[in-house]
């Protein structure tokens, strides 16, 4: 029987809660995460089925602070699993109390969402406004295109639709997550 | 400067209060987690993500300062600005406490 498996599953920046849930379920079925390969591959190793909590952090981390940041998590009982495009992965045996989360107050949970919005959503929006939309205008202004021109136009339109969908999905979901967190605290 | 910081920090969150309160002595993040758990009878448990974020923010705002690093643990201490903010908060809590007992607080 194989001891390792790889799963391909895509999560956007707004789906980190779903990603945590997915990793927890794998562990409870006897597969622990050993590696993440961007953008969407996960390697698992066979293990004892146990209830582990998986948590993702998106910190504003200077390289010089990284060691002390990881030490703090280690002291608090969190196992560091690695990083994937600025997301840091941790796990811990689930003891069903407040310490099963890496954030213990509303402010720090919503601060993380703000960092994701600022550092990931904003660049996406800028690429859309500055590269994709101007290119679309150019395509519509230029009537005389060869077959290659049509293919390129079609590709750009697909890319445009994909970008708009991604921005809307992530923007709305992060906003909803933030509202849920704020409502939980009342 | 103090006015702006006051607006942001007072009233303080429970996490913010305990962190600043503990840093009247030099401590690292995990020390604070343990101390807060001990003095609150286990009621308040600060998670590492929250601890890291709050320490970074307070350091940036000048409420605490970095002292030294020991075995990869960063040790911090309250600054005079931090002490001023903490005193304001302590005064506010005392007032709340007295008022909740039905006592009046007299103007100074």
**Are B48 and A102 in contact (CB < 8 Å)?**
yes
Q: Please check the confidence at residue A142 and state whether its pLDDT lies above 80.
A: no
CA distance readout (Å), B39 to A21, A64, B76, B77? 34, 32, 19, 19
Closest-CA residue of B relative to A108 is B50
User: Cα separation of A51 and A157, whole Å?
Assistant: 45
The yes-or-no verdict on residue A145 having pLDDT over 80 is no
Assign A69 a pLDDT band (cuts: 50, 70, 90): very high
Of the three residues A100, A115, A136, the one that is the final residue of a domain is: A100
Contact A103 B51 (CB under 8 A): no
- Using the 3D structure, point to which of A41, A69, A100 is the last residue of a domain: A100
Indicate whether A95 and A25 sit together in one domain.
Answer: yes
Per-residue model confidence (pLDDT) at position A172: 93
Q: What is the residue-averaged pLDDT of chain A? A: 89
Q: pLDDT category, A185, cuts 50, 70, 90?
A: low
Beta-carbon-side half-sphere exposure of residue A104 (alpha carbons within 13 Å): 21
**pLDDT at residue B81 in the model:** 94
A41 phi and psi angles, rounded to 5 deg: -115, 140
Residues A62 and A114 in one domain: no
Q: What pLDDT does B48 receive? A: 97
Cβ of B73 within 8 Å of Cβ of A75? The answer is yes
Same-domain pairing of A114 and A95:
no
In DSSP terms, A84 is beta-bridged to A87
Please name the helix (run of DSSP H) or strand (run of DSSP E) that holds residue A35, with its range, or none: strand A31-37
Per-residue pLDDT tens over the stretch A28-47: 999 999 999 988 899 999 99
Of A45, A110, A44, A99, nearest in space to A76 by CA? A99
Assess whether pLDDT exceeds 80 at residue A141: no
Contact across the interface for A73 and B33, Cβ inside 8 Å? no
The CA distance from A102 to A108, in Å, is 10
More confident residue, A143 or B19: B19
Inter-residue contact A37 to A85 (CB < 8 Å): no
At A143, the pLDDT band (50, 70, 90 cuts) reads low
Q: What per-residue confidence (pLDDT) applies to A88?
A: 96
Domain count, chain A: 2
Residue A59 pLDDT exceeds 60: yes
What would the mean pLDDT of A44-73 be, rounded to a whole number?
Answer: 94
Give pLDDT tens digits for A164-180.
Answer: 998 999 999 999 999 99
Q: What is the dihedral of CA A40, A44, A49, A51, to 10 degrees?
A: -40
Q: For residues A60-83, give the mean pLDDT.
A: 94
Q: In terms of domains, do A54 and A131 share one? A: no
Residues A12 and A82 in one domain: yes
Cα gap B50→A20, rounded to integer Å: 18
Lowest mean per-residue pLDDT among A96-100, A130-134, A150-154, B89-93? A96-100
Q: Count other C-beta atoms under 10 Å from residue A73's C-beta.
A: 24
Residue A50 to residues A9, A31, A97, Cα–Cα distance (Å): 22, 9, 16
User: Considering A47, A76, A100, which residue would you say is the last residue of a domain?
Assistant: A100
| Cis previous bond, B103, omega within 30 | no
What is chain A's length? 186
Contacts of A76 in chain B (CB under 8 A): 30, 33, 47-48
* Region A19-27 average pLDDT: 96
Distance between A4 CA and the closest CA of chain B, angstroms: 31
Same domain assignment for residues A44 and A75: yes
pLDDT-above-70 percentage for chain A: 96
A72 lies in the same domain as A142: no
Distance from CA of B50 to the nearest CA of A (A): 5
Residues A60 and A42 in one domain: yes
Is there a contact between A104 and B45 if contact means CB atoms under 8 Å apart?
yes
A9: pLDDT strictly greater than 60: yes
* Average pLDDT over every residue of A100-129: 90
- Assess whether A81 and A19 both reside in one domain: yes
State whether residue A66 is helix, strand or coil: helix
Q: Which carries the bigger pLDDT value, residue A148 or residue A33?
A: A33
pLDDT bin (cut points 50, 70, 90) of residue A186 is low
* Conformation bin of residue A63: beta by default, left when phi > 0, alpha when psi is -120 to 50: alpha
Domain that includes residue A161, residue range: 106-184
Residue A98 has pLDDT above 70, yes or no: no
Q: Are residue A76 and residue A152 in the same domain, yes or no?
A: no
In this prediction, the residues of chain B whose per-residue pLDDT falls under 50 are none
Q: Are residues A94 and A163 in the same domain?
A: no
Can you give the pLDDT at residue A144? 65
In the sheet with B27-28, reading across from the earlier edge strand, the strands are B27-28, B73-78, B64-70
Same domain (yes/no): A86, A21: yes
- Name every chain B residue with its beta carbon within 8 A of the beta carbon of A20: none
Provide the 10 A C-beta neighbour count for residue B41. Answer: 7
Q: What's CA A65's distance to the chain center, in Å?
A: 22
Nearest residue in B to A106, CA atom: B50
Chain A residues with CB within 8 Å of chain B CB: 55, 57, 59-60, 65, 67-73, 75-76, 78, 97-99, 101-105, 107-108, 111-112
Please report the domains of chain B, with CATH numbers, ordered by start residue. Answer: 2-100 (1.10.10.10)
């Amino acid at each position: 029987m194989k001891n390792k498996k790889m799963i391909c599953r895509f999560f956007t920046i707004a789906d980190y809660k779903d990603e945590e849930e997915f990793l927890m379920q794998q562990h409870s079925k006897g597969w622990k995460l050993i590696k993440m390969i961007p953008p969407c591959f996960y390697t698992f190793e066979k293990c004892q089925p146990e209830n582990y909590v998986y948590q993702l952090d998106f910190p504003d981390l200077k390289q010089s602070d990284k060691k002390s940041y990881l030490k703090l998590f280690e002291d608090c009982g969190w196992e560091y699993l690695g990083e994937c495009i600025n997301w840091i992965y941790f796990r811990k045996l689930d003891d069903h109390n407040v310490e099963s989360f890496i954030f213990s107050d509303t402010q720090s949970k919503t601060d993380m969402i703000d960092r994701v919005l600022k550092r990931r959503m904003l660049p996406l929006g800028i690429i859309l406004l500055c590269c994709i939309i101007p290119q679309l205008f150019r395509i519509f202004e230029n009537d005389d295109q060869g077959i290659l021109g049509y293919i390129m136009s079609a590709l750009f339109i697909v890319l445009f639709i994909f970008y708009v969908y991604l921005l809307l999905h992530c923007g709305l979901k992060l906003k909803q997550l933030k509202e849920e967190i704020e409502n939980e605290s009342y | 400067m103090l006015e702006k910081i006051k607006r942001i920090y007072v009233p303080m969150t429970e996490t913010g209060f305990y962190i600043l309160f503990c840093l009247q002595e030099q401590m690292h993040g995990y020390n604070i987690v343990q101390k807060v758990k001990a003095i609150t009878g286990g009621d308040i448990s600060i998670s590492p993500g929250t601890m890291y974020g709050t320490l970074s923010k307070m350091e940036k705002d000048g409420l605490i300062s970095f002292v030294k690093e020991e075995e990869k643990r960063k040790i911090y201490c309250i600054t005079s600005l931090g002490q001023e903010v903490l005193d304001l908060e302590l005064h506010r809590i005392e007032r709340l406490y007295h008022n909740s007992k039905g006592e009046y607080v007299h103007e100074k």
